[in-house]
Amino acid sequence: MGECIFCRIADGKIPAAKVYEDDSTISFLDIMPANKGHCLVVPKKHYETLLDIPDEDLKNLITVTKKVVKALSLSIGNGSYNLVMNNGKEAGQLVAHAHIHIIPRFKSDRLRIKWSHKKYTDKEMKDVQEKIKKFV
């Protein structure tokens, strides 16, 4: 995936403000942060979405995410944060390489993650529940 910007960062071909790196995962500051300290946690191998990541690599990705969250919280002095993972264009994924955003939150940051709430009828909820359960 020579054109993927995250693959190029992982390969050291593009500089990044790295905060963590191991054999399979890298974490660095987002160049367009929602708040100061906003980090990305990225598998070094190219996977497009969560569903493409093998379970072992996914375990490492979330373990590294937890390490970076702890380090970020200790370094900036707060424990509030959002974890965001956009999967697919319709979900807002801009780089087609799986990654987790760690966004530190502050009382006065005015950042809002907002969606409009929908309602189910009882029948709709039951139908959706049954459809999902068939594949779990």
The 8-class DSSP code of residue 107 comes to: T
Type of residue found at 88 = G
Choosing from 38, 46, 97, 99, the catalytic residue is: 99
Residue with tokens 């390489």: 97
Is 99 annotated in the active site? yes
Name residue 82's beta-bridge partners: 103
d(C-alpha 80, C-alpha 14), whole Å: 30
Nearest to 16 by CA among 46, 47, 39, 35: 39
The catalytic residues are 99
